[in-house]
Amino acid sequence: MIWLPLFRRLSVFVLLLAGCILLLQPASAETRLSIGSDAPALDISDWLHKSAPGAKAPVTKFEKGKVYVVEFWATWCGPCIQSMPHLAMLQKKFADKDVQIISVTDEDIPTVQEFLAREAKGKDGNVITFNELTQAYSLTADPDGSTHNDYTAAAKLNGIPVAFIVGKDSIVEWIGHPGQMDEPLQQVVDGSWDRKAFAIEYEDEKRFESLQEAISMRIESANGKDLSPKLVSSILSAVDSFVKETKTPRVLKQAKFMQLELRIQFMPNDDLTLASYETVAEFFESRPLELNGLNWGIFELVSNGHIKNRKFAEKLLSSTQKLVEKVPADQVGTVYDTISHIQHFLGDLDSALKSAKLAAAAPDASPDIQAFVSKIEAELAEKQAPK
């Protein structure tokens, strides 16, 4: 069993279905470190850089009124290394706001020192070492892994880089990729952060990741064979229930995408699948080219016979025709291209020819559109020839 490729020009499902899930196993907020938990005390053996003026090293107890970022990295982790300039920038930005960024690896000191000696690009492209780059914040090593156990393992996370913002009352305020923490950190510092609202979003996200993982495991366990109707029904019911229950718009959007793909995979001709498409299409109101990419991807499944519901093709045509007035003039060809192929599939050769010619005349005409024009003209000539 494989996931059907819905897109030719859109890659949003890649992140959804690639299996890049941080959560190791389903867990409730009560059994893992999460938003609102007391931040575990730090037990870090080696402090390589002290960081900004006023910062302490080592930190064994979080001081009331101060904000800390506990970030996890490794010398072998490309995204972690890419985050280093950003961490340095944030530490400098908040140096006078009682913020201390503490970056932790569980590697041994020789490994870390060898890495720090390597060259890195500094500001304006000048060459410096990673040792110089990371002087701005508290870079540490904790070879026994105790801090990782207290944070990433306790939070049921296995992906790095990941950062924990510890607020002024020593409570975990935020968890996520360090590249996304600018706004949360600013709000934690100025006192405007809504911890309760983010906790709901975070738990919804973790539940969705658990659901993704469970579904992927079920599908993979089929080992290329068709899943039983009972199992398919169970999978779809689980996703439908999640869609009804989640309170977070961003997570709801991801869940509805997965709902659509699963329905196309397992119930392509069901009217509920068409309804699911209409819901997803609403997300692209301000991104017409992406909706065109989605429509093309689904149309390919219609044209190859996976989706046999003619109403789907008709809905795709109606949806794509509305995009003509929404896309930039220099990109309208790709939309007319999609329209012409759907019209051709539906048997409306006259309309298909008009649309194909508009696609061919557009600035972004595809290399093969003229061949499609000729194909339609030949079919029309054959149709109109005397019998």
CATH number where 138 lies:
3.40.30.10
Provide mean pLDDT across the span 230-237.
88
| Residue 4 confidence (pLDDT) above 50 | no
> 73 and 163, same structural domain?
yes
Whether 279 is covered by a domain: the verdict is: no
Whether 273 is covered by a domain: the verdict is: no
| Residue 292 confidence (pLDDT) above 90 | yes
Whether 103 is covered by a domain: the verdict is: yes
- How many domains does the structure of the chain reveal? 3
Whether 340 is covered by a domain: the verdict is: yes
Q: What is the pLDDT of residues 194-221, one digit of tens each?
A: 999 999 999 999 999 889 888 888 888 7
> 15 and 41, same structural domain?
no
The Cα–Cα gap between 258 and 235 comes to 11
> 262 and 338, same structural domain?
no
Widest distance between CA atoms in the chain: 93
Q: What is the pLDDT of residues 377-386, one digit of tens each?
A: 999 999 888 8
The amino acid at residue 96 is D
What CATH number did the domain enclosing 327 receive? 1.25.40
Percent of the chain with pLDDT over 90: 71
> 323 and 383, same structural domain?
yes
Whether 355 is covered by a domain: the verdict is: yes
Give Rg (Cα) of the chain.
27
> 237 and 181, same structural domain?
no
| Residue 246 confidence (pLDDT) above 50 | yes
Sort strands 162-166 and 172-176 into parallel, antiparallel or unpaired: antiparallel
Residue 11 CB coordination number (10 Å):
11
Provide mean pLDDT across the span 283-289.
91
Looking up tokens 């609102």, which residue turns up? 36
| Dihedral pair phi/psi, residue 57, rounded to 5° | -155, 125
Provide mean pLDDT across the span 82-105.
93
> 300 and 387, same structural domain?
yes
For residues 150 and 172, the answer to whether their CB atoms sit within 8 Å is no
> 152 and 43, same structural domain?
yes
List C-alpha distances in Å: 89 to 69, 94, 107, 299.
Answer: 13, 9, 24, 46
Provide mean pLDDT across the span 60-72.
94
Provide mean pLDDT across the span 160-170.
96
> 111 and 131, same structural domain?
yes
> 167 and 42, same structural domain?
yes
> 42 and 9, same structural domain?
no
For residues 372 and 345, the answer to whether their CB atoms sit within 8 Å is no
Provide mean pLDDT across the span 86-106.
93
Whether 215 is covered by a domain: the verdict is: yes
Whether 277 is covered by a domain: the verdict is: no
Provide mean pLDDT across the span 62-76.
95
> 142 and 67, same structural domain?
yes
pTM here is 0.70
> 157 and 45, same structural domain?
yes
Q: Residue 379, exposed/middle/buried by CB under 10 A (0-12, 13-18, 19+)?
A: middle
Range of the domain at 307: 285-387
Given 192, 214, 230, the domain boundary residue is 192
Whether 146 is covered by a domain: the verdict is: yes
Six token digits for residue 135: 């002087």
| Residue 11 confidence (pLDDT) above 50 | no
pLDDT reported for residue 217: 84
Q: What is the pLDDT of residues 106-150, one digit of tens each?
A: 999 999 999 999 988 766 667 889 999 999 999 999 999 999 999
